[in-house]
Amino acid sequence: MSEKVNDRTIFSLSEVALSIQKTLAERYTSSFWIKAEMNKLNHYPQSGHCYPDLVEKIDGKIVAEMRSTIWKDDFLRINENFQNVLHEPLKNGIKILFSAKISYNPLYGLSLRILEVDPSWSLGELEKEKQLTIEKLRKEGLFITNKSLILPLLPKRIAVISVETSKGYADFRNIIDNNDWGYSFFYMLFPALLQGENAVGSIMKQMERISLVKQHFDMVAIIRGGGGDIGLACYNNYELAKAIALFPLPVITGIGHSTNETVSEMVAFRNTITPTELADYLLQKFHNFSVPLRKAQDFVIDTFSRLLQNEKSAMLNLVRLFKSTTSSRLAKGKHEINSELKYIRQQSAYFLRRALEKNMLMNLSLIEKSGAVIKEQWSNIAIAEKSVELLNPMNVLNRGYSITMVDGEILKTVDSVREGAIVKTILSDGNVISIAQSVTKNENNG
């Protein structure tokens, strides 16, 4: 009950809350269809109840916010219907159209009790966002920018954006690492969230990291293990699609679904739908190179083998021809040589007989002439011996002559003798050593 204090009517907080509760209950007697973004589901598994935080955004700014409630039985029914239509459960960050009653509790405040959710409307909102993103990218001329890049002939170095525990990433690795042809790849994981409200920021952050080391990679692969359309909503985000379109390396997607292609997949260099198909695509790139190369190799080997065989056959024919020709030439040459040898023997014998006969006559004349010459030479030698004997120094000394020497030299003039010099005089029967006391030169000799 209110009370009067100094002409003021004062109400308690509970009275005000109950008045608001009564007014709202009387004013809002039925349910309403409301659209909002479920910012956070706040599901409590123990009780089974949910207390979603609902927001409305304009240009990314929150303009309204309100709490809501989904009781356990309603949540089970709504979530099952949601999964049947969208193949995804209710989750954070999706836009929903829901039927709710407005309620007010003095203790917990104003909230909305959600009775029903239309999954088809959520699907339509996703499509609307997708079309707006496509229209904006086409207007900016970015839609085929990444497709215009050139993928290397053999894309061996791959930057992978995925979750390490993702089944899709595991499938990709299994095919790449265990291919039957021994193709070798280098890939590096850049882990990121691939769905939910934080996926866009997480993927773009890893793309920024890859951009810093882009020279080490040939391409980027975005790999996800599959899911429904709600889980793929982040890939229709304008900022993410624009980042993929403008990325300096070819981006290939394999995010695990076969329907409702997202904008990110549309603007990527190539969309391979699943991680398995992405891996097969890379292997096929190697096939496209290796198969013609192997065919060319086989062609070269076959051509070379045939040429070698032809040359071998030609060589064998030449060898046989050479052997035949040389055998014939050798036989003919041998015959000619034998004939020449026979002729030479005959001629040699003939000339030898004639030479012998001629030599015998010459030898007789030579003997006679040489005898007279020898006799004359012996006579000359005897005369020379007598002359030499007469010139022998000893014979000269015997006749009373002597030889005088000074310092080992034969003395011919007195000019060669100095006073005090040792003089050696050689006689026929001995030597005399003397000292020159004086040297006198004949006046007649000047």
Give me the helix-helix angle, 119-139 and 72-86, nearest 10°. 50
Backbone angles phi, psi at 124, to 5 degrees: -65, -35
427-435 — which CB contacts under 8 Å span 24+ positions?
427/397, 427/402, 428/394, 428/397, 428/398
**β-pairing, 422-427 with 409-410?**
unpaired
Alpha carbons 444 and 43: distance in angstroms, whole number: 165
CA separation, residue 339 to residues 238, 325, 330 (Å): 108, 21, 14
Burial class (CB in 10 A: 0-12, 13-18, 19+), 242: buried
Q: What is the pLDDT of residue 230?
A: 59
Sheet holding 422-427: strands in order across? 409-410, 403-406, 422-427, 430-435
SS3 labels along 189-254: EEECCCCCCCHHHHHHHHHHHHHHCHHHCCEEEEECCCCCCCCCHHHHCHHHHHHHHCCCCCEEEE
CB 172 within 8 A of CB 254: yes
Residues 6+ apart with CB under 8 A from 160: 169, 172, 187, 188, 189, 190, 220, 221, 223
| Entry pTM | 0.56
Q: What is the pLDDT of residue 375?
A: 78
Q: What is the pLDDT of residue 133?
A: 94
Alpha carbons 223 and 176: distance in angstroms, whole number: 13
Q: Which CATH number fits domain 142-287: 3.40.50.280, 1.10.287.130, 3.40.30.10, 2.40.50.1070?
A: 3.40.50.280
Q: What is the pLDDT of residue 70?
A: 96
Q: What is the pLDDT of residue 271?
A: 95
Task: Output the DSSP codes for 358-409.
Answer: HHHHHHHHHHHHHHHHHHHHHHHHHHHHHHHHHT-HHHHHHTT--EEEETTE
Q: What is the pLDDT of residue 186?
A: 97
Q: Which two tokens stand for residue 242?
A: 């624009």
292: helix, strand or coil: helix
Q: What is the pLDDT of residue 228?
A: 56
Q: Which two tokens stand for residue 380?
A: 């000359």
Q: What is the pLDDT of residue 282?
A: 96
Q: What is the pLDDT of residue 79?
A: 93
Compute how many other C-beta atoms are within 10 angstroms of the C-beta atom of residue 41. 19
Alpha carbons 331 and 308: distance in angstroms, whole number: 34
Alpha carbons 166 and 231: distance in angstroms, whole number: 14
Q: What is the pLDDT of residue 382?
A: 77
The secondary structure of residue 147, as a DSSP letter, is: G
CA atoms within 13 A on the CB side of 163: 13
The amino acid sitting at 321 is L
Averages of pLDDT over runs of 10 residues in the chain (446 residues) are: 80 89 89 92 95 90 94 95 84 89 90 93 82 94 97 96 93 95 95 88 97 97 74 87 98 80 94 94 93 74 82 83 80 82 82 75 67 76 74 71 81 80 84 84 66
- CATH fold for domain 3-130: OB fold (Dihydrolipoamide Acetyltransferase, E2P) (2.40.50)
Q: What is the pLDDT of residue 227?
A: 58
Alpha carbons 232 and 271: distance in angstroms, whole number: 14
Compute how many other C-beta atoms are within 10 angstroms of the C-beta atom of residue 55. 15
Residues 6+ apart with CB under 8 A from 93: 37, 38, 39, 196, 197, 233
Alpha carbons 98 and 110: distance in angstroms, whole number: 17
- For 114-151, b/e burial (b = at least 16 CB within 10 A) is beebbbeebbebbeebbeebbeebeeeebbebbeeeee
Report which of 105, 103, 88, 84 is spatially closest to residue 38, judged by C-alpha positions: 88
Q: What is the pLDDT of residue 353?
A: 80
The amino acid sitting at 425 is T
Q: What is the pLDDT of residue 319?
A: 81
Q: Where are the domains of the chain?
A: 3-130, 142-287, 396-445
CA separation, residue 308 to residues 54, 294, 302, 311, 315 (Å): 82, 20, 10, 5, 10
CB 247 within 8 A of CB 146: yes
Q: What is the pLDDT of residue 444?
A: 64
Q: What is the pLDDT of residue 226?
A: 62
Q: What is the pLDDT of residue 391?
A: 65
Q: Which two tokens stand for residue 132?
A: 């707006």
* ∠ CA 318-319-324, rounded to 5°: 95
Q: Tell me which residue has tokens 């006679």.
A: 368
Alpha carbons 118 and 99: distance in angstroms, whole number: 8
